[in-house]
Structure 1
């Protein structure tokens, strides 16, 4: 599956990424931690399918709905389990590091906007040696509101001095990422095969099967730009 638009996109000035299932695979630990909290409250654990459909919002937005008045207790149970296990099972999505390298080599500013708690997000980036790629890693509770609100977008872009615009891509795997991109006036870019009712209201501008596919496109666009003369008519050499 290639990009939704019929035109090849221009290289952006900045890229914001979702984290889980976009750049890294830590799904098993997230689901296990949630089911641990559900079971502690006498609730039925969620299946794989249910988890992938429902785990999109940040914890502070979703847990009051799931656990009611006891949501802070469930929050602490989730965090205790997750903190003990999340670095053990962390894996990069295939092609993710090559994508980060491709943008970095072309001077594109990169940052993360995730609904994972900020301290866990930054610990995982450190574990992978990826902190060097990002101007800022914004997680849940770092900004005044969480994704899909625009507040974390502004926080993530602040070090670059780049304002939210169509010169900024938001790359993610879920409809909540596309919703955030639309709300902030960014270009929504979907990576992977995803389903959700939100895609009808917040469609991606471009869609790619894998990080490898997108990384190849970035290299081609960047190489084309690098050999163009100032008037765009030929080689600059």
Structure 2
């Protein structure tokens, strides 16, 4: 990255940093894949490959299931959650050095939160499992706002919960194009963490900052 861009980003230091959850701070995709595949099988529907499942999983369940499962989407939701709840806490693993970054943010006394398209109750259980609640002033999951990411509603709800006014000094860190779109919709600085599932070539909208691993975020927080 050019020095001029680094200086520009450092100049506009964040007052708050919000994170996506899955594939940004934690690795918990396997339970999603397993639950999705078993739901399709139980309803007698065609198998989907990993790429197809990923394409849907970027959005919240209430956004994608009516499109995928049509009139059976409520039944599909019940099947999916039954399977997912049995396995997700057993398989969740922090992304390498994610907690290190959270500690740095906490020590710098910046506002920090999670805004995710994962169901809010399940999201909080995963955060509690890792004992990470101490790092976040606000947590917003799917179904808690009028609409989910990439709409503005979850962001506005997060700001309301911490009595924080929207401004350009908020960063949003995520792992896919929905996160970039969400950041731009809310005039946040968008940080894209390149990963095994989503590469920079997969994103249509250009993020403000691309990192190949989350610990590199430390370079931009002074």
What TM-score, normalized by structure 1, do the two folds share?
A: 0.86
Q: Distance in 2 between matches of 1:4 and 1:117?
A: 40
Q: Which residue of structure 1 aligns with residue 6 of structure 2?
A: 7
Deviation at residue 121 of structure 1 after TM alignment: 0.2
Q: Distance in 1 between matches of 2:202 and 2:180?
A: 8
Q: Distance in 2 between matches of 1:117 and 1:5?
A: 40
Alignment CA distance shift 1:64-1:196 (3 Å): farther
Q: Which residue of structure 1 aligns with residue 216 of structure 2?
A: 213
**Aligned partners of 1:14 and 1:162 also within 8 Å:** no
CA RMSD after TM alignment: 1.9
What TM-score, normalized by structure 2, do the two folds share?
A: 0.91
Deviation at residue 47 of structure 1 after TM alignment: 2.2
151, 155, 158: which one aligns with 1:156: 158
Q: Which residue of structure 2 aligns with residue 231 of structure 1?
A: none
Residues 180-221 of structure 1: per-residue CA shift (max 9 Å, x gap): 111111111101242488732x22001101111113443xx2
Q: Which residue of structure 2 aligns with residue 123 of structure 1?
A: 125
Structure 1 stretches of 4+ moved >3 Å: 2-5, 195-198
Q: Which residue of structure 2 aligns with residue 49 of structure 1?
A: 51
Deviation at residue 80 of structure 1 after TM alignment: 0.3
Q: Distance in 2 between matches of 1:180 and 1:3?
A: 25
**Aligned partners of 1:25 and 1:90 also within 8 Å:** yes
**Aligned partners of 1:5 and 1:206 also within 8 Å:** no
Determine helix, strand or coil for the equivalent of 2:109: coil
When structure 1 is superposed on structure 2, of 177-186 and 3-12 the one drifting more is: 3-12
**Aligned partners of 1:37 and 1:77 also within 8 Å:** yes
Deviation at residue 158 of structure 1 after TM alignment: 2.2
Q: Which residue of structure 2 aligns with residue 227 of structure 1?
A: none
Alignment CA distance shift 1:210-1:4 (3 Å): farther
Alignment CA distance shift 1:104-1:3 (3 Å): farther
Deviation at residue 83 of structure 1 after TM alignment: 0.6
When structure 1 is superposed on structure 2, of 153-162 and 178-187 the one drifting more is: 153-162
Q: Which residue of structure 2 aligns with residue 199 of structure 1?
A: 203
Q: Distance in 1 between matches of 2:117 and 2:51?
A: 19
**Aligned partners of 2:6 and 2:220 also within 8 Å:** no
Q: Which residue of structure 2 aligns with residue 68 of structure 1?
A: 70
Alignment CA distance shift 1:4-1:151 (3 Å): farther
Q: Which residue of structure 1 aligns with residue 149 of structure 2?
A: 147
Q: Which residue of structure 2 aligns with residue 183 of structure 1?
A: 185
Q: How many pairs does the alignment contain?
A: 217
Q: Distance in 2 between matches of 1:84 and 1:106?
A: 37
Runs of 5+ unmatched residues, structure 1: 222-237
Alignment CA distance shift 1:102-1:196 (3 Å): closer
